[in-house]
Structures are given as C-alpha cells and as structure tokens.
Chains A and B, each alone.
Chain A
Amino acid sequence: MSQEEKIKEELLKKFNYLEGSVNIIRPRRMSIEVSLDNFMPVFAYLAKELELTHLCTITGLDEQERLGFIYHLTGESRVMVNLKTSVAKANPLIKTVTSYFPGAEIYERELEDLFGAKVEGLPQGNRYPLTDDWPVDQFPLRKDWKPALDTEQGVDKNA
C-alpha cells in the first residue's frame, strides 16, 4: 500500500465524516476538505499522529461568500497534504495553528493583512506584510479590492 493510501485509510478510520473528501491527486499529492468545526482535530491528527511535521505555508483564497484556507503539510512520508477549510466572509474567524507550528505565525499574519481573516490565539506582534498606516478595512487579495493606479488608494490620507 502506498504512503498516500495509508494516510487516507488512517484518516477515514479515525474520522468517518471525511468519507468522500480525501483525494489522492497524484503520487505525493493529496487534498482533504474539512468543515471549520472539524478542522482542528483533523489538523492535529495529521501533524501529530501521521507525522506531517512540516507546514510549508498557508494559502488564502477568496471564494465569493467565503474565505478559503489551504494548509500545506508534509513530512518524512514525503506526501504533501493540502488540507482545506473555509469560513463565511461575514465572520472570518479561524484558530491559530502556532501551538503546533510556531513558524506559522508569519503565514497567519499574512492571512489577516491580505484577506482580512481573524486568527484567534495569534500572539501580539508586528503586522505583515502591509504598512502600519494601511487602512484596517482594506484587504488587497480579496477579489473586490482593486488597486487604483492614479490615486493613493490604500493609504489613509487623514492618518
């Protein structure tokens, strides 16, 4: 049995609600889709029990009414698991994964700055990557945000 199939089997054994949402895309690539409520247990299981010990990055996505997040995890097995979850844009609250991966701090700050996600449990610190005077309600990687080339949009002139 391949590493990918092994990961799939272990996951389905542990979480029966994942039936149908674990896909092997190609050798060394898997995708899992999980609801926000079930995200933390699945994430913890992948990181701790299945030893996916390297979080490559977190990708943010604007999906109209929702914000999507893909956590790219890999480890000794060399299989890259793309764990996807999403949250309603109206209340984009997700939990930090810095207790599992302290290195995730900078990726989560990026989600806050560029997508307007709220990451619960993220320690105090500098914002990244936008400037300190960037308006709090503008998130450049959201689809409805357009850069205005002829004005200084994005910089609050009254600040």
Chain B
Amino acid sequence: MHNSKDFKIPIGPQHPALKEPEGFSVALKGEKILGVDIRLGYNHRGIEKAAEERTYIQDIYLIERVCGICSHSHSTCFIQAVEEIAGLAVPRRALYIRTIIGELERIHSHLLWLGVAGHEIGFDTLLMYSWRDREVVMDILASITGNRVNYGMNTIGGVRRDISPEQSQEILIALDILEERTKYYIEVATQESTIIKRLSGVGILSREDVLRLDAVGPTARASGVKRDVRADDPYAAYGELEFKVITDERCDVYGRTVVRVKELMESYKIIRQALKNLPDGPIAIKAPRKIPAGEALSRYEAPRGEDVHYVRANGTEKPDRVKVRAPTLANIQAVKHMLRDRYLADMPIVIAAIDPCFSCTDRLIALKEQESATGKIISWPALHAYSLEWYKKQGIDFTALNKKLSAKGLTG
C-alpha cells in the first residue's frame, strides 16, 4: 500500500465526524475519493420483531422510538396503517392536530439540521443561532404535548391531547418569532458568501440520479424532483391545506440548505391555516383492541423524506407484521454516489446534507419551587439534595452509596 498512491481508510463506526454509528471504508487517491463502501446496521434494535410481540397500543410507543427526532412521523405513519385496516374514521380535529404537531416537528428538525450543517463547515455561529431559535419550537412542543421529543400525541383513532384556544395563541406568537428568524436565515443562506462558496458544487446528485437511486425528501427536492408525500399522497389534513412543495435546481448541498430553510416558511403557513380552520368535535374515537385481519401501506413525509410503514393484521391484538422504512435508508445509496470523485474534506457535510437521523433528548431544566410566590429557581445542588430526600421518604437511601462514590472522587 505504501508504494501506491491509493489508500483505503476506515471512517466509523465511531468517528468524531459522524454523529451516529455507521461505517465508511473510503478508497482515496490523494485527497480524492475513488469510492465508498458503507456498512450500516449498528443501530439495528429489532423493533420490527418486537412490534409483533406487543399489542397495537404498546406498539405506538415502541414505534415512536424508532427515531428521536421524527418520533411523531413514525407513530403517525404506523397508526394510519392500523386505522386503515380497522376502517376507523378518525375525527377531523384529530387529523388537524396531527398535522400541526407534524409541522412543529419538521420545524424543530430543520432548525436542528441547519445548526449541524453550520457546525460541519466550521460556521458555529449559525449553530448557536439556529439552536437557540429551535428552543422556541421545542418549548411549544413541550407545552402542548408535555415532551420535547417522543410526544405521545397519537393513539389509534385520534390524538390524546387537545389544543386549547390559549395554546393556539401561544403557537401563533411563537410562529411570528420563528418566521422573523427564518427570514434572517434565508438572507444568510442566500447572501453569506462563506456558505455559498463552501456548499456550492459539493455533493452533486443529478435529477436522473435521484430517480435512479430512489432518493427522498429535501435531498430529492434539491435536485428538482417534486417528491413530497404531503402533496402526492395526502394524509392527515394536508389535502385541505395550501402549501408549496419547495424544489431547487442546484443539485448540491447548497440547494439542500435552501430547500430546508424555505420549507420552514411553508410549515408556518400550514400551521397557521390548520389553527385557523381547526374543526370542532372530538379528538378521538374508540378503537377496538383487536384489529381485524388485513393489510395497509402508509406513507408520511418526515422531515428527512418519505417514511413508509406496512402493517399486516391477523385479527388479534398484536400485529402479524410491521415493516418500517425510514427515509435515511432510501437516501444512503445517494450518499455513496455524491461522495465519488469528491474531496475527503467534503465528506462530513455531504453526509450531513441528507440529514441522517440522530437522537436528541437532552434538556436543561429549571424547576420552580412550588410554594414560592417569587418562583425562585432551585439550584442544581438543591435539586440534588431534594431528590435524595424524596427517595429517602420512599424508603430508598443513597447516603452510603454517595459516601462511597465521593470517597472515590466520583461525585461533585
């Protein structure tokens, strides 16, 4: 190998440039990539098998955890198939609420992506800005659903929580803030020369290649392919709402950036319409525990692209088969193609540009003291002491263990 100018280097499954475990074996000639061999499956958790051994209700929560970011996408995709088999007429109000949560999820996902993309090209200011703004939508999601991710909104036959008029107002105020910020990002993306120069011509994927390799989502739309399940195969309330399918002809990472930023504006438009036209009525109908025998294929436009679920029911309370095809799997062949003949230095941003899925569930908490009128914020040590006290009252004592740990210097 030392005599030749061709090298093969392994990147992953654990590597600083990757956010998730995936293995790349990159054949290089100098700094040019000759070819890439991809090894996936490090995150395979056997969810499809596990789904066969659980009831439909349990499966909603299992399937929601296929992905940390697109949790609502997966649970909606799954229950749509179950509802079709069971012949359930889901109340319109529930369909609208699903749509609203789905679009809020897209906003959170796209803003997260924008930060990651900024980080990958060394533009960390963009990461700081977009992730700060992302908190606005995370707060809204937490306020409506109780959670920042894994919202638990869906149930077979509808949704589990309503949106009150006050919450509607809260969302509208947040949308105004987000819209202002997004206009700024559109300005940054279209005028900031660092971004334009760094991303233009990188990770090229032609329109023909999108069609040949079956790419989906913003990756496909940035190569001029108008492929969006919300428009092509309308579900939830999308058939009754007006929005544009954003496409771009640039076919590179820059195009993918522009598509995602512009899609944010469409999401605001969709949510405003859905809130304005939110139908009255119940938010769920009663679903049978046992789902009659049958099969259905459900599609959903997740932030990363088309999500596909196939469900086969056998008349019992457990499904016979649940098949999940997440959008990243459809885009992985395209990545291989995008990297060929490119520079090694482009690899992190080219991979990031399809927005491969990774989980983000960490959060910072500030708890307010319940009885305090001033709403004093509890400090971390005080919260720690409070939790120890609380457990002690339940009969669980950590004192001995804590002493042992601090003796070894393991606690702060």
Contact = CB atoms under 8 A, between A and B. Distances in A.
Contacts of B233: 28, 74, 78, 80
A62 B48 CA distance: 13
A141 interface: yes
Nearest to A129: B41
Contact of A147 (B39, B46, B84, B329): B46
Interface in A92-109: 101-107
A53 B232 CA distance: 14
Contacts of B321: 59, 61-62
B37 A126 contact: yes
Contacts of A105: 333
B232, B297, B332: most-surrounded residue (chain A CB, <10 A): B297
B323 A140 contact: no
Interface in B224-238: 227, 232-233
Interface string B178-214: 0000000000000000000000000000000001111
A13 interface: no
B308 A129 contact: no
B41, B213, B296: most-surrounded residue (chain A CB, <10 A): B41
B329 A106 contact: yes
Nearest to A54: B214
A74 B232 CA distance: 10
A32 interface: no
B362 to A, nearest CB: 26
A53 B211 contact: yes
Given A57-B325, A78-B232, A129-B40, A103 B213 contact: yes
Given A130-B44, A140-B49, A72 B310 contact: yes
B312 A129 contact: no
Interface residues of B, number: 33
Contacts of B213: 102-103
A101 B38 contact: no
Contacts of A145: 49
Contacts, number: 83
A105 B334 CA distance: 12
A80 B299 contact: yes
A135 to B, nearest CB: 15
B212 A29 contact: no
A48 B150 CA distance: 41
A128 B41 contact: yes
Chain A contact-residue range equals: 35 or more
A28 B233 CA distance: 7
A126 B49 contact: no
A56 B46 contact: no
A80 B40 contact: no
Interface string B19-58: 0000000000000000001111100101011000000000
Interface in A107-159: 107, 114, 125-131, 140-141, 145, 147
Contact of B214 (A82, A101, A125, A129): A101
Nearest to A131: B41
A59 B214 contact: no
Interface string B305-345: 01010101000000001010100011011100000000000
Nearest to A55: B214
A70 interface: yes
A129 B296 CA distance: 24
A68 to B, nearest CB: 9
Interface string B226-255: 010000110000000000000000000000
A141 B227 contact: no
A80 B48 CA distance: 22
A127 B296 CA distance: 28
Given A56-B325, A106-B332, A82 B297 contact: yes
Contacts of A28: 233
Contact of B46 (A53, A70, A140): A140
A126 B38 contact: yes
B333 A72 contact: no
Interface string B128-170: 0000000000000000000000000000000000000000000
A101 B227 CA distance: 17
7 contacts: A56-B308, A57-B329, A61-B312, A101-B214, A102-B212, A126-B40, A140-B46
Top 7 A-B residue pairs of the complex, sorted by shortest distance between their CB atoms: A129-B41, A103-B214, A57-B325, A129-B44, A59-B323, A126-B39, A103-B213
Given A53-B211, A54-B211, A70-B310, 4 more contacts: A26-B84, A72-B308, A127-B41, A130-B44
